[in-house]
Structure 1
Amino acid sequence: MSLQIILQESLVKRFGTITDLRLQRVGGGSINDTYRLSFSGKTLFCKINSATKFPHLFSREKSGLDLIAQQNKIKTPGVIDCLQTEGHQVLLLEWIQEGEQNERFWKLFGEQLAALHRVTRGSYGLEADNYMGSVPQSNAKHESWTAFYVEERLMPMTKRCASKNQLHSQHLLQFEALQKKLGNFFEEERPSLLHGDLWSGNFLCNQSSEPVLIDPAVYFGHRSVDLAITTLFGGFRQPFYEAYQYHFPLPANYREQWAICNLYPLLIHLYLFGAGYLPQIERTLEQFT
């Protein structure tokens, strides 16, 4: 059975009789094949990937989108369907027509992210593991942020990178030294619901100039994780940070927290894309060890 027939069956169950089903490839997918799916005057966003190479990738993404949406703090695309068949996994999402990223947008984004971060639970982590990009991440629960960050984030990624000779013994010794000192940099806040991978490619601006979160890697963690990664790969506009600070004030040492939290996405990029990310990791290690 062809993928187009499988998609058509899914859409018929949801929308009834459909006509003129078309798939048009679009950009924006680094590990997924991404399409604009149009039929019967409607438009959806379609992501397709291997069900064996990245098991449960889309079902975990769906769960993350659903968890964020349930809080009614910030928008996500509506999930139309998530299915797996004949070696493929498919995620169908609401199509977001993009609007203007004006100053109101950035202020609203900061305010709504602060509201999302006030959603809390009693422990760090999540019921299920998921992915950050194409890299599996463990969300085993911990009572302490520093324990969670060391055992479920830094240690797994330093081991992966060391296995590819991307980190050497001196780097590993520096990571060990930093891990022992993390309590000096992070006060124990209550866990915040995080997007988990909030770089500039993982949000949209809809036609009403409202932020829409996409491609989450959700768990309950320290809110500096989300804020830190906004400063990588381009950064967000200043009104975003000002609005966030107004609605959920940051600690005095937030820049140190952000630098330490960015070690995790930098390790992932080192692992996936190579040595170009090592100098920034080395600078952070030298700063804090």
Structure 2
Amino acid sequence: MQVSAAIQSIIQQKLSEHFSAVRPVQFSGIGGESINETYRISFGAENVFCKLNSVSEFPQLFQKEKAGLELLAKQGILKTPAIIECFEQANSQVLVLEWIQPGEKTEGFWKKFGEQLATLHRISTDSFGLHEDNYMGSIPQSNRQHKTWVDFFAEERLKPMIGRCFHKKLLSKTHRQQFESVEKKLTEIFAEEKPSLLHGDLWNGNFMCNQNNEPVLIDPSVYFGHRSVDLAMTTLFGGFRQPFYEAYHHHFPLPKNHEQQWAVCNLYPLLIHLYLFGGGYLPQIENILRGFA
């Protein structure tokens, strides 16, 4: 997606208002995101981060991301990039955020991250879900509220993605039967806990370390769910160090069967990856399902 003259003009105006100065804007394309066009925008000595995408393909994608960032920021626990602007122009949607200059991920960083995530997970509410739906990456996800985690996870997470993958012939009838077996055991696997405020997509590409050695959350898929969702995602693609888990456990002790909970929670993101990227993710799913046969 090209940055149109109209969008450049709007961004120029918004940045002039935000920084109380009039300077030319310069766009530099950067990578790292699978569905968005991403840019570093230089505005004199200032830099900001910009995402572009299609309104028709992913309706309200950036509005939902903005709402998620605002909900996390409101808690005052973990940092998020400041939102500079979010708007639509013709069939384009644009999100402009504070530029985060990366710092070094020291042992102190990981301990702080674990402690802060544990504190975030103490934020609770009456139901599992959220007052509005959002996205997990490029996949719309329903946050219809339920009183129990087991009902929410089965109805709003597993079943919709199992259905999508089965329709796409990525899962067999045998796989569906295995998933049904897992669903019957959910009440045994997950002891009752209050809903936790989740980042929702906490893999190693969705946080940063700033120059003050502080964790910064990006690209959230927020809702109130079981805290094992976030912790499970940290293990799915690696990158998190042991001091993170030790600090988390110190401030919010993990249940004895947390590894079992994490395996089940990871079925959801693995199903999404299976749906988006194909059969390379099926062996991981099958390995988890075998563990609950």
Measured against the shorter chain, the TM-score band is: over 0.9
Q: Where do 5+ consecutive residues of structure 1 fail to align?
A: none
Secondary structure of 2:275's counterpart equals helix
- RMSD value over aligned CA atoms? 0.9
Question: What residue is the counterpart of 2:56 in the other structure?
Answer: 52
Secondary structure of 1:2's counterpart equals helix
How far apart, in 2, do the equivalents of 1:46 and 1:258 lie?
33
Q: Does 1:6 align with 2:5?
A: no
Question: What residue is the counterpart of 2:258 in the other structure?
Answer: 254
Q: Does 1:111 align with 2:111?
A: no
How far apart, in 2, do the equivalents of 1:24 and 1:71 lie?
33
Question: What residue is the counterpart of 1:270 in the other structure?
Answer: 274
Among 17, 34, 37, the residue aligned to 2:38:
34
**2:52 touches 2:92 (CA, 8 Å); kept in 1?**
yes
1:63-106 deviation line (CA, Å, top 9, x unaligned) = 00000000011100001111011100000000000100000000
Question: What residue is the counterpart of 1:164 in the other structure?
Answer: 168
Percentage of matched positions with identical amino acids: 61
How far apart, in 1, do the equivalents of 2:217 and 2:22 lie?
29
How far apart, in 2, do the equivalents of 1:218 and 1:259 lie?
20
> 2:27 is aligned with what amino acid?
L
Question: What residue is the counterpart of 1:183 in the other structure?
Answer: 187
1:115-153 deviation line (CA, Å, top 9, x unaligned) = 000000010000110000000000000000000000000
Question: What is the Cα deviation at residue 15 of structure 1?
Answer: 3.1
Question: What residue is the counterpart of 1:285 in the other structure?
Answer: 289
> 2:42 is aligned with what amino acid?
S
Secondary structure of 1:74's counterpart equals coil
How far apart, in 2, do the equivalents of 1:235 and 1:227 lie?
12
**2:143 touches 2:223 (CA, 8 Å); kept in 1?**
yes
The alignment of Structure 1 onto Structure 2 pairs a total of residues equal to 289
**2:12 touches 2:24 (CA, 8 Å); kept in 1?**
no
Question: What residue is the counterpart of 2:131 in the other structure?
Answer: 127
Secondary structure of 1:288's counterpart equals coil
How far apart, in 1, do the equivalents of 2:184 and 2:155 lie?
12
The two structures have a TM-score, normalised by structure 1, of: 0.98
> 1:225 is aligned with what amino acid?
V
**Structure 1 runs of 4+ off > 3 angstroms?**
none
Among 98, 105, 125, the residue aligned to 1:94:
98
Deviates more, 1:32-41 or 1:107-116: 32-41
Secondary structure of 2:27's counterpart equals strand
1:228-271 deviation line (CA, Å, top 9, x unaligned) = 00001124100000000000000000000000000000000000
Question: What residue is the counterpart of 1:203 in the other structure?
Answer: 207
How far apart, in 2, do the equivalents of 1:130 and 1:173 lie?
28
How far apart, in 2, do the equivalents of 1:216 and 1:259 lie?
21
Deviates more, 1:107-116 or 1:19-28: 19-28
Among 23, 40, 46, the residue aligned to 1:19:
23
Q: Where do 5+ consecutive residues of structure 2 fail to align?
A: none
Question: What is the Cα deviation at residue 17 of structure 1?
Answer: 3.7
Question: What residue is the counterpart of 2:88 in the other structure?
Answer: 84
Question: What is the Cα deviation at residue 12 of structure 1?
Answer: 3.0
How far apart, in 1, do the equivalents of 2:21 and 2:252 lie?
48
How far apart, in 1, do the equivalents of 2:239 and 2:49 lie?
26
